[in-house]
Amino acid sequence: MTRNEYDVIIIGGGIIGAATGYYLTKREQRVLLLEKQYLGSGSTGRCIGGIRAQFSTETTIKVAMESVELFRGMEDEFGFSVDWFPSGYLFLAYTEEKRQAFLKILGLQQSLGLDVRFVEPVDIRRRFNYININGVLGGTYCPTDGQADPFFVLKGYMLGMVKGGSNVKTHAEVVGIDHHRSDVFEVAIADGDKFYASKVLNAAGPCSKSIGEMVGIDLLAEPERHESLITEGIEFKAIPMIVDYRPDGCYFVQRTTGQIIGCYTPEVQIPGTDTGSTFEFLTEMPRRIIRLIPALESVAILRQWAGSYTITPDGNPIVDKTDIQGYYVSTAMCGHGFMLGPALGKLMANFMIDDSWPYDMSEFAYKRNYQRDTEVLG
Amino acid sequence: MKPDTIICRCEDITYQDVLDAIQMGMRTVTEVKKAIRAGMGPCQGRTCGRLIAQIISQETGKPISEVWDSSHRPPLMTTPMGVLAGGHCDEE
Ligand SMILES: Cc1cc2nc3c(=O)[nH]c(=O)nc-3n(C[C@H](O)[C@H](O)[C@H](O)COP(=O)(O)OP(=O)(O)OC[C@H]3O[C@@H](n4cnc5c(N)ncnc54)[C@H](O)[C@@H]3O)c2cc1C
């Protein structure tokens, strides 16, 4: 192989590109990862680091449980901490309908071996006495869910790739993919360099649609703005990720740095890749946090920012090969790309080599009925 | 500067930590910040940001204007949640 030839070219240096590159490198593929800015400059560096396996479909639960295992093993694998901490996720139901939905999904989660339980308001009161349980009809709690630092995780994957002989190129924006020869892709970056591989993975998150268009593929993956904020550090009480399911709810967790980090899903979606901040979020989010934990009233906000959720009409990611031989896609991670990333990276790396999945992944297929209406939890 | 000189007081980041991050390939204040948390504390890089820009500039030979890319995000001053939410909060 010459200097610019690789087994696989990955476009995008977020969790998906980095994890897939890492596992491909482990399987002795020589990978080139091309990132427009720096690793984590997209959604991954803007996420709040929450990791959970409490999902509502069999495939997602399996993938997420595998990811949790991988996060737990990262410190040993990388030789440094990624700030993994099992702070747990607590989902709160405020309507009878939600309570029933939680109970229904709980059975599926438990049947797959997840350590998750239903908690009555009194249980919540006992375990987390700082939570205001007014109006809470119950919830589910999974103590093995947790959190990690996205930048430390990316660093581990990047160092692993480089050590294994792969190449990570930042500040390298892909501007075109030429596929006139059916067995090779020519990938051009903004400064004029060209790279060649027989396999390409589109892991460009919010921009994956335009990377698809470069080979004439239409991906139903659109970005939406999501805002977030972080407070100063306070005494570490291992506050779990609390997911408040009211229409004006929110979700937040205490990081191992003692800081509270969180966001909410806006009632009206804001399409596009604009990552500006709004005053509305800066005033509304604290209100929602204090409503759940009044004692946080005096804690100061350090910073707010925004990033993208990339979503499909049915809310599931697209992780698959495509009509174009050698062109793969792993995108549209919605609000779950960080937590699903390690397992999806491993699954996709193996799929790109073996052309098979270890279990049914049709929910994430490129060709599927995107309108299907499943119960989506979170 | 000595290797153990503190550059970012909020997050306890030393001169050596910054050099290590540059060695790892970080080329801008934002990249260094995200790699080692320099500037992520209560002062949000108001003290160490310029210092880090200078170190990167020295090490890479690039002008400060090229490495000093840190974005400023609200709030301008750390502000208690109770105040932002419009409630009451004791001023001390
Ligand atoms: C506020 C917020 C909170 C979140 N909280 C969580 C959470 O708690 N847990 C969780 O699991 N998920 C969370 N998410 C979602 C998570 O951040 C995403 O699902 C995940 O980061 C997607 O990863 P990715 O690798 O697909 O995309 P990205 O991280 O966006 O990576 C794609 C990369 O491609 C690069 N790129 C784009 N175009 C090009 C090009 N032409 N050439 C080269 N490179 C290019 C971009 O620069 C980018 O770095 C949150 C998201 C937001 C915004």
Q: Give pLDDT, residue B87.
A: 59
Average pLDDT over residues A145-171: 96
> Residue B82 — pLDDT band, cuts 50, 70, 90?
very high
B-facing residues of A in 182-221 (CB < 8 A) are: none
- The candidate with the shortest Cα–Cα distance to A49, out of A182, A153, A186, is A153
Ranges for all domains in chain A classified under CATH 3.30.9.10: 85-145+222-311
| Contact by Cβ (8 Å): A342, A160 | no
CATH class held by domain B6-64: mainly alpha
Query: Could you state, in order of their start, the residue ranges of all structural domains in chain B?
Result: 6-64
Contact B72/A at CB under 8 A = no
Average pLDDT over residues A354-359: 98
Ranges for all domains in chain A classified under CATH 3.50.50.60: 5-48+151-220+314-364
Average pLDDT over residues A304-317: 95
Residue B88 pLDDT exceeds 70 = no
pLDDT tens digit string along A11-40?
999 999 999 999 999 999 999 999 999 999
Atom of ligand 1 nearest to the CA of A227: 1
pLDDT tens digit string along A93-133?
999 999 999 999 999 999 999 999 999 999 999 999 999 99
| Tokens standing for residue A219 | 């991906």
- Do B81 and A301 count as a contact with CB atoms less than 8 A apart? yes
Q: Give pLDDT, residue A47.
A: 97
Q: CA of B30 to nearest chain A CA: how many angstroms apart?
A: 9
Q: Give pLDDT, residue B24.
A: 83
Within a 10 A sphere around the Cβ of B1, how many other Cβ atoms?
12
Query: CA-based diameter of chain B, in Å?
Result: 50
Closest CB to B73: pick one of A232, A279, A305. A305
Q: How far is residue A127's CA from residue A150's CA, in Å, rounded to a whole number?
A: 28
Residue A372 pLDDT exceeds 90 = no
| Tokens standing for residue A68 | 């949790």
Q: Give pLDDT, residue A268.
A: 86
Contact B91/A at CB under 8 A = no
**Model ipTM value:** 0.82
Residue A209 pLDDT exceeds 90 = yes
Residue A1 pLDDT exceeds 80 = no
Q: How far is residue A159's CA from residue B79's CA, in Å, rounded to a whole number?
A: 38
- The candidate with the shortest Cα–Cα distance to A262, out of A286, A295, A236, A232, is A286
Taking 3-state DSSP, the helix, strand and coil percentages for chain A, each rounded to the nearest 5, stand at 30, 25, 40
| Long-range contact pairs involving A265-270 (C-beta distance under 8 Å, separation at least 24) | A265/A226, A265/A335, A266/A225, A266/A226, A266/A227, A269/A224, A270/A224, A270/A225
Q: Give pLDDT, residue B43.
A: 87
pLDDT tens digit string along A236-271?
999 999 999 999 999 999 999 999 999 999 988 899
Per cent of chain A over pLDDT 70 is: 98
* Ligand 1 proximity of A262 Cβ (cutoff 6 Å): no
CB contacts, 8 Å: B82 with chain A: 286, 290, 297-298
* Ligand 1 proximity of A289 Cβ (cutoff 6 Å): no
> Residue B42 — pLDDT band, cuts 50, 70, 90?
confident
Q: Does domain A5-48+151-220+314-364 correspond to CATH entry 3.50.50.60?
A: yes
Contact A295/B at CB under 8 A = no
Residue to mutate (ligand 1; options A11, A44, A87, A344; most atoms within 8 A of CB) = A44
Residue A7 pLDDT exceeds 70 = yes
- Do A304 and B74 count as a contact with CB atoms less than 8 A apart? yes
Kindly state the helix (H) or strand (E) to which residue A196 belongs, with its residue range.
Answer: strand A194-202
The CATH architecture assigned to A85-145+222-311 reads: 2-Layer Sandwich (3.30)
Phi/psi at A196 (nearest 5 deg)? -130, 140
List alpha helices for A261-309, DSSP H: 279-292
pLDDT tens digit string along A56-95?
999 999 999 999 999 999 999 999 999 999 999 999 999 9
For A186, counting Cβ atoms within 10 Å of its Cβ (0-12 exposed, 13-18 middle, 19+ buried), the class is middle
Residue to mutate (ligand 1; options A254, A338, A339, A340; most atoms within 8 A of CB) = A338
Average pLDDT over residues A330-350: 98
In this prediction the pTM is 0.94
